[in-house]
Amino acid sequence: HPDVAGISFTGSQSVGHGVLTGAAKRQARVQLEMGGKNPLIVLDDADIERAVMVALDGSYFATGQRCTASSRLIVTDGIHDKFVAALAEKVAALRVGNALDPNTQIGPAVSEAQMETSYKYIQIAREDGGRLVTGGDRPQLDTPGWYVQPTLIADTSPSMRINTEEVFGPVASTIRVKDYEEALHVANDTEFGLAAGIVTTSLKHARDFQRRARAGMTMVNLPTAGVDYHVPFGGTKSSSYGAREQGFAAFEFYTQTKTAYSWS
């Protein structure tokens, strides 16, 4: 509409591209946040309990319906099996149920279509060779709802669809790598670039990751899905376009600077 001077959009890539095309025709301001396929690297030197809790929070809470959720768990060989076993135990124990029940940890998906999307990608991952560690079932509960059993899939490769396409549900996959350099390469090898995390006790690797990770936000020993509203929010590559959301960046986006001269 000609009266719209700018638009801030959060959603899918396909809709975002349409918004951008429409805004460009009128030279309207636009900022887009269009999802992610966020990696969490777990190195051999990580505190295993911390790593499991970071992955559990980042991948599954809010039913995995966060654009910053950790969906690709990239784990070095020395800790991989131990990490998968420990995380699977926690995932299997998550309580799925009515979102209004205070004992519920995983509520329903936002829609039936989103529920079916999660199960579709679980099936695709299995057909592509992924190993279903836990989850994948359809919960039968007293309270009606679009429930998805939290699911962990291991033995996946970076090129599988489960690791390249956004699921937006309580589904995470693990990728085994030999060392930090391979882990960083796999983390960056995606069209998305919203959030990225690492769990390590090495200050060297933590600082290097913050510098070289191709993402708009990086987390060290913290869930990728935890952000603060007073700092800029946004990503790189296909995840974002235009100015950052939140914090001082939001003031800049919603402000038109006017320079005025006068003489008297």
Q: Name the residue with tokens 């090129």.
A: 159
Residue 234 gets the label, from left (phi > 0), alpha (psi -120 to 50) or beta, of left
Q: Which of 67, 89, 127, 181 is catalytic?
A: 67
- Nearest-angstrom CA–CA distance, 103 and 256: 47
CB of 76 closer than 8 Å to CB of 43: yes
Beta bridge pairs of residue 196: 218
Q: Active site includes 67?
A: yes
- DSSP string over 117-148: HHHHHHHHHHHTT-EEEE-------SS-----
Helical packing angle, 77-92 and 48-60, nearest 10°: 50
Sheet holding 217-220, edge to edge: 131-134, 151-156, 171-177, 70-76, 38-42, 195-199, 217-220
Residue of 33, 89, 165, 181 with catalytic role: 33
- 165: annotated active-site residue: no
What are the start-end ranges of the H helices in the chain? 13-26, 48-60, 77-92, 112-127, 180-188, 203-212, 247-253
Which residues have a catalytic role annotated? 33, 67
